[in-house]
Amino acid sequence: MKTLEELQAFILEKYQVDLRFVDDVKQDIKAINKGHRQTVLLEILRRAKQGPLFKPDGVAESLHGDLHGFAKIKSKSLNIRIIYRPVEGSPVRMEVIAIGPRDKRKAYRMAAERIQKFLQQMDQNNDE
């Protein structure tokens, strides 16, 4: 996968999961070491394959507090967390709000700060 658009098309076709990113996530991905970007995208692909929904329909567990209704993907090898919101439907949607380091909950803070903007962007995308 060379681009996010290619990843989105592949996941939708192969696993019937509609992968969406807010604009800030594209910047998060650019901030990741170039050699690790592909691995981060593979983590997202792996979750789409396993089932992005909350248990028992998928493998995700809901986060707490401000991020209730969101889930995380941890990459221990890269020390990265990917925060996303699974949305049931046909197709299932995986809406990624933040990709950040596992360092002292920074990814969670990033996601919490972006919630308002995230909801607006996702609502606009759903109206289109």
Greater confidence (117 vs 103) lies with 117
Tens of pLDDT along 112-126? 999 888 888 888 776
Structural domain containing residue 51: 4-127
Distance CA 128, CA 107 (A): 29
Tens of pLDDT along 65-94? 889 999 999 877 778 899 999 999 889 999
- Structure pTM? 0.88
Q: Which two tokens stand for residue 89?
A: 């439907």
What total number of domains does the chain contain?
1
Report the CATH number that the domain containing residue 122 is assigned in CATH.
Answer: 3.30.2310.20
76: three-class secondary structure by DSSP: coil
